[in-house]
């Protein structure tokens, strides 16, 4: 999974100059038979946040074996290594059961920071059905944007 995250981050930074919109993909690897259904995106600007969502199926599985959800940000240097945690509000209510794992990579002149989790479908459904999902990384507050919420909902709809 880390290799996927690193490759995704490098690819997303490479296309960031030409495209800021997210991309939805439903594809099956022809060598392994692994299917991935994913909303992949990057922040509109440095120090902004974006949220990606994915579902993975092992070869021949009728249902996803794993869901993946992460907040991504980038800047010239690491911003959150000293406080690698996220606090969540779902429609104004605390969600302490959402635990994200911090990771970062430096590529060229940028540092990409991620807060990832592998929630179950019920948790993603709860996030997708919310009117507002807010989060706080260290003391920086933000929320999941409408495009990323639509991407989350599309991943769920395509993986029923």
Beta bridge partners of 102: 115
Q: Name the more confident of 124 and 14.
A: 124
Domain CATH code at residue 63: 2.60.40.10
Q: Which of 127, 124, 125, 81 is nearest to 106 (CA)?
A: 81
- Burial call 14-28: b when 16+ CB within 10 Å, e when fewer: eebeeeeebeeeeee
pLDDT at 4 over 70: no
pLDDT of residue 70: 97
Give the range of the structural domain holding residue 142, as residue numbers without chain letter. 2-158
Locate 96 and state its tokens.
Answer: 């302490």
Lowest mean pLDDT among 19-23, 60-64, 103-107: 19-23
CB atoms within 10 A of CB 121: 15
For the stretch 84-116, pLDDT in tens is: 899 999 999 999 999 999 999 998 889 999 999
Give the total number of structural domains in the chain.
Answer: 1
Q: In what order do the strands lie in the sheet with 133-137?
A: 93-94, 86-90, 133-137, 140-143
* Pick from 26-35, 49-58, 105-114, 119-128: least confident: 105-114
Other Cβ atoms closer than 10 A to 93? 8
Of all residues in the chain, the percent with pLDDT exceeding 90 is 82
Nearest to 51 by CA among 12, 107, 92, 1: 12
């Amino acid at each position: 999974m880390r290799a996927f995250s690193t490759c995704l981050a490098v690819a997303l930074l490479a296309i960031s100059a030409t495209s800021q919109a997210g991309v939805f993909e439903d594809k099956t690897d022809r060598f392994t038979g692994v299917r991935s259904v994913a909303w992949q995106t990057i922040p509109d600007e440095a120090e902004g946040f974006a949220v990606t969502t994915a579902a993975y199926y092992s070869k021949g599985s009728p249902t996803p074996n794993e869901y993946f959800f992460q907040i991504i940000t980038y800047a010239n240097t690491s911003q959150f290594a000293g406080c690698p945690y996220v606090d969540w509000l779902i429609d104004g209510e605390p969600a302490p059961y959402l635990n994200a794992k911090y990771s970062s990579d430096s590529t060229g002149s940028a540092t990409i920071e991620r807060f990832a989790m592998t929630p179950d479908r019920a948790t993603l459904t709860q996030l997708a059905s919310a009117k507002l999902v807010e989060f706080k990384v260290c003391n920086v507050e933000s929320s999941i944007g409408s495009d990323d919420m639509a991407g989350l909902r599309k991943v769920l709809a395509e993986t029923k």
